[in-house]
Amino acid sequence: MTRFIVLPLLILAAATILSAQTPANPQVVMKTSKGDIVLELDPVRAPVTVKNFLAYVDAKFYDGTIFHRVISGFMIQGGGMTPEFQEKAAKPAIKNEAGNGLKNSRGSIAMARMQELNSATCQFYINHADNPNLDTMKYAVFGKVVKGMDVVDAIAAVPTGTIRGYADAPRQPITILSVRRAETK
């Protein structure tokens, strides 16, 4: 009988050791004028994109930017514009990592880009609904909201219009106050 108990204990011990050695996916806290959003990033499936995003986070690049494009039932986009709708200078574009198995589903975060496939820099969007058409169009997902979908919903619900030539812009600015790596425990 004893030998049948030992094997499950060894498996449990090995799983505990492996989980202690495997770091959790990084998380960031995005403080906005509507509340906090906690994002979990996936560096295994989107290593280039996560590294790029965290470089902007660590440089405090996103602090004071706005969500400049908001379409309820679609997505909220931000990360590259000042409240005056001036585009911030970004680093060079990164390789597109679409097709990594992550989907443009409600609550996922992905890179905004121009028509050119490898043109994403700093701007991102959070899906307000499932958007499988964006998977087909090769928009690269690199994480998901793990807390604060109510904040995403609140942002998506604000009145929008055309401001300084930008369509679907919130009539009252929605500011990204800060984006920081979450404290590890």
In a domain, 13, yes or no: no
Q: Which residues of 52-69 are buried (b: 16+ CB within 10 A; e: fewer)?
A: bbbebbeeebbeebbbbb
More confident residue, 13 or 179: 179
* Structural domain containing residue 81: 25-181
pLDDT digits (tens, 9 = 90+) for 88-99: 999 999 999 999
> Is residue 113 in a domain?
yes
Query: How many domains would you assign to the chain?
Result: 1
Kindly state whether residue 12 falls inside one of the protein's structural domains: no
CATH assignment of the domain containing 163? 2.40.100.10
- CA distance readout (Å), 166 to 73, 81, 83, 127, 155: 19, 11, 12, 19, 17
Span 117-152, pLDDT tens digits: 999 999 999 999 999 999 999 999 999 999 999 999
What average pLDDT score do residues 79-107 get?
97
Question: Model pTM greater than 0.75?
Answer: yes
Q: Would you say 37 and 154 are in contact if contact means Cβ atoms under 8 Å apart?
A: no
